Structure formats: C-alpha cells, structure tokens
Structure 1
C-alpha cells in the first residue's frame, strides 16, 4: 500500500510558529511526521523575520521555503504549482495569533491543524467556524490528550454502555511551574501565557483547564448545561488566574468538576480523570497513560493496558497503538494520533471523497468553539461570585 493511498505521496506541511525557544512547535513537527505520512516542507517560524530565517535549519526547511511571515508563506505557496505547494498549515503560535493565521489559511484553501485554545476569544472562534463551514478544508485542533489509546478505549466503553448511565466526571490538571513569578524574568513560555493581551481572558483555566474539560466531553459525549466557576490568582502581580475550580451540570443530570492549578509545588503534567457510571467507574492519569483502572462493585478491579486485552479489543483503542504490549506509548504518539485522524480526512479531500468535519474522532473547529465558550463562561461565572451560567453552545456535538 502506498503512503496516503490513493495519493501515494506524503502530505506537505507548513509550520507557523515554533521558532527557537518553542516547545510546542517541535512537538507538532515530530507528531506530524511520526508515521511517515507527512513531511515538513515550509515554515514561517517566528514573527521576527531574522529569527524565522535562522530557525529554519533546525527543522531542515530549505531557505527558499523559510518565510518571514505567515502572509508571505500563504502567498508564496499559492504561487507554486499544485504538485509542489503545501497541503496543510500547523499553527504553533501564542493564542492571540491563532485566528488570523487560521482564517487566512482556510480562505486560501489549505487544511489546518491548530494548537489549542483555538482563538483568542469566542467571537473569533465563531467567525472562524463560519469560515471553515463555508470551505471544504480539514480543520483539526490539537487537544492531544484525546489521542491516547486508553482515552479512546474509555470513550468506546462509555458509548457502548459498559459503565451504564454516567453520574459524575472529575477531571483536573495540576502543575507547579508557575508557583513563582518567572514571567517577571522574561521566561518565554510564562511571559505570553500570563499576558492577557496574548493568552486571552483566562490563565491556567484557558491553558490547561480546557484540556481537563475537553477530556470529559470526549470520553463521555455528555452535553453540558451550566457551570459555576471560581478563578483565583495567587502569585502577586500576575494578571491572569493560576488556580481555579468549576462545577458542571450535564444534560443527563450528571455532575462534573474541573480543577486547574499551575501553582502546586512539584507537579508537572497531572492531568487526571475519573468517570462514575451506574455499572462501573474508570480512572486514567496522563502521567501513567498506559494503565486505566476499571472498577465494578463485587468484582475484581481491572487494570487495562494498551493494546487492550481481547475482551476490550476495540478499534478506538487498539487502532491507534503502534507498539506491542509492554512498550510504552505516550505524549508524541498521542499527539500524532490527532494528526493521523486529520490526515485520513485530508487524503479523502485531496482524492475528491467526502469526509465528516463535524463528527470526527479528532477535535475539530466545533470543539474549538466549545472550548472558547467554556473559557468565556468560566470567567463570567467567576466574575459573578461563581454564579451558575449557561455552558451549552449551539456548536456542541455529541
């Protein structure tokens, strides 16, 4: 079988952002190319033209395709013959730049993989969704934790009714890297994430709380109705929240909690989720991603591992495993699973075949609007002393 059959070639990738000092840009490039289905061909790696050019050799991008702005990238790539120009743009910039790059790329007819949160605010997200709906492009959002095999397996088990009716979701993402005011020392990642002009209306809740919320939505499919949220800023002088907790009421009567912290000593990437149903409960921890506990009263507790045992063999879990049992798969592989889902649809689009950009296994533009609505409503609720506010957006998908 050829690569990306029936195209029989690699998809050509452009990276916007990801210049020297970036973490997530390198992750995008590795994840996209992990399965040999894409090649990084072009880039506009920094808003600083000199840094954009000097960063290109780090990625193996030829000087002729190392652009000094995303505008130059799009214009120059459109001028190339179709068999040479890029297929998709990956966006790995600070939040306030996502919209303008994504909007331009979609209007130019390029597929997009965008880092989360999708835009700076909800108005931009809704406008971008309208642009995507009026196009035929593939749009994927890198909520990468939904790519872990056991997260996919949990979703399959929940949707198959193995947990019964879902009563409760407890998700949290606990970090400690912003315990001190390192943004005051111009630490690059901290500086923009704590700057409301670049990050948006929320800090920790916008950065990692969105992951915890999205994970519950993905694994259960439950639609939210209302949210009550408290956001706090503990580090003196910081302009955005560094801790927060929220309670969510779901459509079926279930309750959910989301907690996000970036000020907890010694914590790194403590994304955890527990789901309680009438027939059983699941627990998964991102820092130990290759084990998931499944508990039922009166029965022995089970530890599921990827690829799942035959009793739980399901394409949603086993289909995204690359290695035999006992060989741990983790962050890069999960991130790559977002890409391979998007690649499947990009290939269909290029071959003139239909694809479903709304009900996709990868997080999409509709999910991105939900995420921005979540941020907006958390900030609104917290500003009203944790008053209950609506959380169901019309873009929500089951």
Structure 2
C-alpha cells in the first residue's frame, strides 16, 4: 500500500508540538509529509520547508492557498489529510477550510477556540462525511488501552471513584516574559481562548478519566486560579467531578507545581478493585484488590489484550513512550482513512481514535470549568451535546 500523504499547518521552526506530530506520524513508515504552511512569515516558512526536504512549490505561507493548491493537484499527488498544529485560535478555521476542500483533519487539542466552534465543526463533518482525529495522545499508551478494556470487562466492578492529576511546573514564573514562545501563546487569551491550564492539560486529564473509566463527567465544581501576578488565564485548577453513573472524582491540573515535569497520573476505583497508571512510568499498570496482592502488569507481555499488543512496538522491558503513544493515534487515524477510501469496516485499532465526540466533550469541559470557577453556584451540570 502507498503511504498516506499528510500536510501540516503550523509547526515551523521553533515550534514544539509540530515536531512531535511529525515524528509520531513518521514512526511507522506509513505516512509521508508532502506539504505544509508552516508559518505566515515567508522566510520562516521557506526555511522550515527546506529543513523538512519539501519541494518549494509545496511550501505555502497561508493555509487557504495550501488548501486550494493541493485540491488542484492530481489525486495521487495531493495530500490526503492535514495535521493542524497551530495555536488554538486557528484550529477551527484551518479545519473548516480543509474539510471544505475535501481533506481529512487531524488536530492538536483542544479542538477549537471555543465550544461553539466545536459544535460547528461537528456539523461540517456531518455535511462532508470526512474524517476527524484529535491528538489526545495519552490514550495511545498500550497500558491505558489495557486499563480501559479491564474496566469495560467489569473486572473492577461498578466504578465509584476517579482521581486524576496533571501537575507541571514550567509556568511557575513568568516564562511569557522570557521569550518563551510556548508560554506566550498559551497565556494569551486571543490565541489560547478562555483557559491556559485547563485548556492545555486539564482537558487531557478529563479525557483520560472518561476514556479509562468508561463513564462521562456530568457535573463539576471548579476552582481555577492565576497564581502568577498579571496573568489573564488560569495556571492552576482543582475540580470535583460527578459522573453519569453516580461515581465521584477529583481532577487536579497545575502549571505552577514547582519541580513537576509532566506527572499525569490516574487512579480508578470500583466495587471490586482499583487501578493506577502514571505517564512517567507508562510501562506499568497496577491492579489493586481487597483480597489478594497487587498485580503489576507490564507492557508487551502475552497476558495483555490484542488491542494493547497492536499498539506495542518493542519487546518487554523496552519503554513504550510518548512518541509511540502519539504514533498510535496517527496509526488509528490512517487506518480510518484506508477504510474510508476502500469502503471497508474499521478494525478494533482504527476504531479506537479520539474524534469529534471527544472534541466537543473537551470544549464543553473547558468552558464549564471556567464558568463554574467564576460562579457562586457550587455544582454546574455539563450540557449534553
């Protein structure tokens, strides 16, 4: 089979997440980057394209020109999907332009600038019938998938409690004044939207909680804070959760937890048992029981599910890390593209890809967390979209 052809908007020199997307997409040799609009600055766009060994005619300075030019190319040459790795305010307009031009979309999260855009994007996907993926990469880890399947199989019993935390420390001081491009746009309401901490990492924690537990957040009680003086957006958040099955939970996200790196961790407790997984020790999943010792599951062993095995690349004892998990999202998405183009049903791996449902739920969570924190009302029910 030919490689799937990818374009990219954003992710030029100096960008962080664009390079991660490119490495993840390239990992399995199934995707080829064929074009990009890496920067609105013509010289920066040119340098980025040269560094990626792209022909100059496939390097664009704006996404609208890229969509029209690519659509005009022969079908066997034009890109098949676009990866959107811009700041948040551009996610929706780029996705809309791509879908209207006939291209599938893989977007970095959060999906859009606000909830209304996410709902509009869902409508456009319904109109076009095209595909949409969202890079909630932490769901790509093999043992996260194993945890989800164990819960779904009823091994823990009915879920009662979910505790998820995502502390970072990189914004504990004013990095936005230190020529830190990543900090500057994430703390700018015009580019990031109404939230920094919850919009950037809290939404990952909420998504992971729902993905593993199999139940949806239905109501929240939120307390968001901008600890660093002068910030317009939150850099810390504590949120109580209620789930639609009656379970309760706690979500903590912080960008000012000094000394923390990327310490995403989740614990899920049911009537019969519990589980624990940490992103900084991703090859280990703990299963906890009242009547027997803790079980330690390790990546790449034969006792794991076929889905976990399908998302594992290395033998036991070799860490399956962030780039591999990210690559699993891409492999699921291009599996959807191949199934779409060949008119066949999705396999289990391809079906397991975050999409527009997670996009809408994520934006719903972000907007309601901000609203709940600003309100004197204790509990805010999440609208059902």
TM-score by length of 1: 0.94
- CA–CA distance in structure 1, aligned partners of residues 380 and 42 of structure 2: 44
Question: Does structure 2 conserve the Cα–Cα contact (< 8 Å) formed by 1:194 and 1:203?
Answer: yes
| Residue 46 (structure 1) aligned to one of 39, 44, 60 | 39
The Cα of 1:293 is off from its aligned counterpart by 0.8
CA deviations 1:75-104 (Å, max 9, x no partner) are 110111101101110000000000000011
Aligned to 1:336, the other structure's residue is in SS state: helix
Q: Which residue of 2 aligns with 1:256?
A: 249
SS of alignment partner, residue 270 of structure 1: coil
Q: 1:5 maps to which residue?
A: none
1:314 is the counterpart of 2:305: yes
Q: CA deviation at 1:46?
A: 1.1
Match of 1:279 among 254, 272, 275: 272
- Total equivalences in the alignment: 384
Secondary structure at 1:197 match in 2: helix
Corresponding residue for 1:68?
61
Which residue is equivalent to 1:370? Answer: 361
Partner of 1:196: 189
Taking the aligned partners of 2:384 and 2:50, their CA distance within structure 1 comes to: 43
Q: 1:106 aligns with which of 99, 114, 119?
A: 99
Q: Check if 1:23 corresponds to 2:44.
A: no
1:127 aligns with 2:120: yes
The correspondence for 1:81, drawn from 74, 86, 90, is 74
CA distance in 2, matches of 1:360, 1:377: 28
Matches of 2:144 and 2:14 in 1, distance apart? 30
Q: CA RMSD in A?
A: 1.5
Q: CA deviation at 1:386?
A: 5.8
* In 2: Cα distance, 1:66 partner to 1:309 partner: 45
Shift of residue 185, structure 1, vs aligned partner: 2.5
CA contact (8 A) 1:230 1:385 kept: no
Match of 2:164 in 1: 171
How far 1:303 sits from its partner (Å)?
Answer: 1.1
CA contact (8 A) 1:171 1:272 kept: yes
Could you tell me how far apart the structure 1 residues matched to 2:383 and 2:316 are? 39
Deviation per CA, 1:36-63: give whole Å up to 9, x if none.
1111110000122221111112222221
Shift of 1:228: 0.8
- SS of the residue corresponding to residue 281 of structure 2 reads coil
Tell me by how many angstroms 1:278 deviates.
0.9
Shift of 1:199: 0.3
Question: Would the aligned equivalents of 2:336 and 2:351 in 1 still touch at CA under 8 Å?
Answer: no
Task: Check the 8 A contact 2:174/2:228 in 1, yes or no.
Answer: yes
**Aligned residue for 1:337?**
328
In structure 1, what is the equivalent of residue 214 of structure 2? 221
Provide Cα deviations, 1:202-239, integer angstroms capped at 9, x if missing partner. Answer: 11011000000000111111022211100011000011
Superposed displacement of residue 197, structure 1? 0.8
Unaligned runs of at least 5 residues, structure 1: 1-7
Which secondary structure does the structure 1 equivalent of 2:79 belong to? coil
Distance in 1, Cα, partners of 2:353 & 2:301: 20
Aligned with 1:217: secondary structure?
A: helix
Q: Displacement of 1:300 after TM fit?
A: 1.1
- Residue 4 of structure 1 is matched in structure 2 by none
| Structure 2 runs not aligned, ≥5 long | none
Report the Cα distance in structure 2 between the residues aligned to 1:281 and 1:309, rounded to whole angstroms: 22
Please list the CA deviations of residues 114-171 of structure 1 after superposition, one character each: whole Å capped at 9, or x if unmatched. 0000000001110011101112211000000000000000000000001111000000
SS at match of 2:238: strand
- Give the aligned partner of residue 291 of structure 2: 298
1:93 aligns to 2:86 (yes or no): yes
1:14–1:40 Cα contact (<8 Å) kept: yes
TM-score of the aligned structures, taking structure 2 as reference length: 0.97
* 1:210 alignment counterpart: 203
For residues 191 and 205 of structure 1, the distance between their equivalents in structure 2, rounded to whole angstroms, comes to: 16
CA shift digits 1:377-398 (9 cap, x unpaired): 001100104621112522xxxx
Q: Could you tell me how far apart the structure 2 residues matched to 1:308 and 1:164 are?
A: 24
Q: Give the Cα–Cα distance (whole angstroms) in 2 for the partners of residues 366 and 47 of structure 1.
A: 31
Preserved contact between residue 71 and residue 102 of structure 2 (Cα < 8 Å):
no
Q: Residue 224 of structure 1 contacts residue 392 of structure 1 at CA under 8 Å; is this kept in 2?
A: no
